[in-house]
Amino acid sequence: MQNMPSILTPDFGLLFWMLLAFLVVLFVLAKFAFPAITGAVEERKRFIDESLKNAREANERLATIEAKSAQLLKEAREQQAQILQEAKRTGENIIAEARAKAQAEGRKDLEAAKAQIAVEKENALRDIRSQVVGLSLQIAEKVVRGSLADDKAQQAYIERLLAEQTQQP
Amino acid sequence: MRKRIHTPGLLRLLPALLAVALLFAATPLRAAEEKAEIDVKEAVLGHMSDAYDWHITTWNGHHVSIPLPVIVRSQRDGRWHVFSSARFGHDGKETYEGFYIDEERQGKVYERGYDARPWDISITKDVVQIWINIVILLVVFLTCARWYRKRNVQDAAPGGFVGMMEVLVVAINDDLIKASIGEKHYRRYAPYLLTVFFFLLVTNLMGLIPIFPGGANVTGNITITFLFATITFLFINLLGNREYWKEIFWPDVPTWMKCPVPLMPVIELFGIFTKPFALMVRLFANMLAGHAIILSLTCVIFITWQVNALVGTSLSAVSFLMILFMDLLELLVAFIQAYVFTMLSAVFIGMSLPEHHKA
């Protein structure tokens, strides 16, 4: 053993110090260094995984929201078109009805006016007729009275009366 | 003009290297004439071995080194003696309080009058290197850990140095430890294996730095790899489950192979020890070989200068390029060996926790 180079034979002193030094460094690194590093890396890995998962979920949610909003938009458009169409139809109906009503009203008024006119006319005719009768009676009365007095006078009288009559409205 | 652009970088660099080598030619040439033969084996082994002081350089025959504390227990009075390694004198040949360095017996401290080695827990060069590496590890990882403690999950991931360490830690933790041991049990072993990986990585890398804060051959010393292999061995065999022991003593082989002659159980039992032994030798041999090659290539420079200036200059340039290549290779090896040690430890631990018996 003692003829061999010293690097080939274990040495107690070196072994002792190496073991001591190694235990010190192992204790410190195992307690304070490696767990901090590997722990941080693992934590970061978990954080990244979680973030990815969240992002994926958010994307999925966004996709469904987009689909839903597109659906809503489509429905809204359809409804809008329908409402517009209905409104148009309703408008047309109202106009048509109004027109029909106006026509009917106009016709009714016209008829009423016509009836009124007819009544008025009847009344006027009746008035004229009664006045004519009255006049005729008066004339006849006066003619009868004049003829009774003088032919000439009668004649003149009738003429005067007639003149009066024609002058008088 | 066009041709010069296409000249490879190294070839363009070569004249410059030669010039630098020539510039320094004068001093070593004179020194070489004065000095005796260079003992390559001694130089290489000396640089790779543990020592009681940290040798920096030798200047005009004077050793410039950092003295380190020697801690030995005397067999004579049974007390611990603590003194500076400078007490052994300038060339380490003096005796202090009855202790001396025996060059014949691995250059260890012995006590006069006693044949056995005293208890010796001196702070040697390797011990200092280990503590330097551990301070580096603690500074690096506690800085990183503090970065995380100051922030929460929703903050940005770290960049720069902390980001790099995070990538390394996560790669070792997830792709190596978790993959080899399995999701269920790996948390119990992760701190140990992570610490082993980073300690070996830092130690291997520091071993490549040729000057003071680094340069000690720690992982290329069998004591160190023996310790780590032993800890892994204990993890495997103390925490192995029933299935593991059943596969050793009653493996799934035809009955005649395990009874009456326990052929397979003996082989399996042998395997318990060969696995950590392979771990120990692999790391040790790889790091030792790397250091030995680099040191030998460095010795080439000094040997060839003893021949003459021309040979010295030209071969030094070649040697320089090869050292450069080896250093780059060793950078890779430093990582690979730390990785392989951790991976095999994790795989062996994983094998000690079989989930269910394969039918």
| DSSP SS3 for A141 | helix
> B106 vs A36: CB contact, 8 Å cut-off?
no
Across the interface, of A13, A21, A26, the residue whose CB is closest to B192 is A26
Positive/negative CA dihedral, B184, B187, B190, B192: negative
Across the interface, of B107, B108, B223, the residue whose CB is closest to A18 is B223
Chain A residue with CA closest to B51: the answer is A6
* Domain presence at residue B303: yes
Q: Does A5 touch chain B (CB under 8 A)?
A: yes
Phi-psi region of B354 (alpha: psi -120 to 50; beta: other; left: phi over 0): beta
Q: Does A125 touch chain B (CB under 8 A)?
A: no
Tell me, yes or no, whether B100 and B85 share the same domain.
yes
> A37 vs B144: CB contact, 8 Å cut-off?
yes
Interface A-B: count of C-beta contacts within 8 A: 136
Give B165-190 pLDDT, tens digit per residue: 999 999 999 999 999 998 888 999 99
- Alpha-carbon span A61 to A48, nearest angstrom: 19
Residues ≥6 apart with Cβ < 8 Å to B332: none
Tell me, yes or no, whether B112 and B130 share the same domain.
no
Tell me, yes or no, whether B152 and B69 share the same domain.
no
* Domain presence at residue B53: no
Residues of chain A with C-beta less than 8 angstroms from the C-beta of B48 = 5, 7
Among A1, A14, A24, which would you mutate to test the B interface (most chain B Cβ atoms within 10 Å of its Cβ)? A14
Question: In the listed set B120, B138, B160, which residue is the last one of a domain according to the structure?
Answer: B120
DSSP characters for A55-80? HHHHHHHHHHHHHHHHHHHHHHHHHH
- Alpha-carbon span A41 to A32, nearest angstrom: 15
Give B198-215 pLDDT, tens digit per residue: 999 999 999 999 888 888
> B49 vs A7: CB contact, 8 Å cut-off?
yes
Find the domain containing B157 and state its range.
Answer: 126-351
Chain A residue with CA closest to B47: the answer is A7
* Domain presence at residue A17: yes
Across the interface, of A6, A22, A44, the residue whose CB is closest to B49 is A6
Domain count, chain B: 2
Residues of chain B with C-beta less than 8 angstroms from the C-beta of A19 = 227
CA distances in angstroms from A23 to B138, B195, B350, listed in the order given = 13, 10, 23
Phi-psi region of B254 (alpha: psi -120 to 50; beta: other; left: phi over 0): beta
* Domain presence at residue B81: yes
Find the domain containing A14 and state its range.
Answer: 6-167
Tell me, yes or no, whether B252 and B144 share the same domain.
yes
Q: What percent of chain B has pLDDT over 70?
A: 89
Tell me, yes or no, whether B93 and B147 share the same domain.
no
B246: tokens are 């059943």
* Domain presence at residue A76: yes
Question: In the listed set B73, B97, B120, which residue is the last one of a domain according to the structure?
Answer: B120
Across the interface, of A14, A22, A33, the residue whose CB is closest to B144 is A33
Tell me, yes or no, whether B205 and B69 share the same domain.
no
Give B255-313 pLDDT, tens digit per residue: 887 778 888 889 989 999 999 999 999 999 999 999 999 999 999 888 888 888 888 88
Beta bridge partners of B96: B99
Domain count, chain A: 1
pLDDT in 10s for each residue of chain B, 359 residues: 344 444 444 455 555 555 554 444 444 444 444 455 678 888 888 888 888 988 888 888 788 888 999 999 998 888 899 999 888 887 778 888 889 888 888 888 898 888 888 999 999 999 999 999 999 999 999 999 999 988 887 888 888 999 999 999 999 999 999 999 988 889 999 999 999 999 999 999 999 998 888 888 899 999 999 999 999 999 999 998 888 888 888 888 888 877 788 888 899 899 999 999 999 999 999 999 999 999 999 998 888 888 888 888 898 999 999 999 999 999 999 999 999 999 999 999 999 988 765 54
Tell me, yes or no, whether B70 and B168 share the same domain.
no
Q: How far is A80 from chain B (nearest CA, A)?
A: 49
Which regions in chain A score pLDDT beneath 70?
1-2, 146-150, 168-169
Question: In the listed set B79, B100, B120, which residue is the last one of a domain according to the structure?
Answer: B120
* Domain presence at residue A91: yes
Instruction: Report which of B189, B171, B183 is spatially closest to residue B335, judged by C-alpha positions.
Output: B171
* Domain presence at residue B15: no
* Domain presence at residue A1: no
> B121 vs A13: CB contact, 8 Å cut-off?
yes
Across the interface, of B121, B192, B221, the residue whose CB is closest to A16 is B121
Q: How far is B228 from chain A (nearest CA, A)?
A: 9
* Domain presence at residue B42: no
Across the interface, of B191, B199, B223, the residue whose CB is closest to A34 is B191
pLDDT at site B87: 87
Instruction: Report which of B205, B356, B333, B222 is spatially closest to residue B276, judged by C-alpha positions.
Output: B222
Q: What is the ipTM of this complex?
A: 0.83
* Domain presence at residue B214: yes
> B145 vs A36: CB contact, 8 Å cut-off?
yes
DSSP annotation of B76 reads T
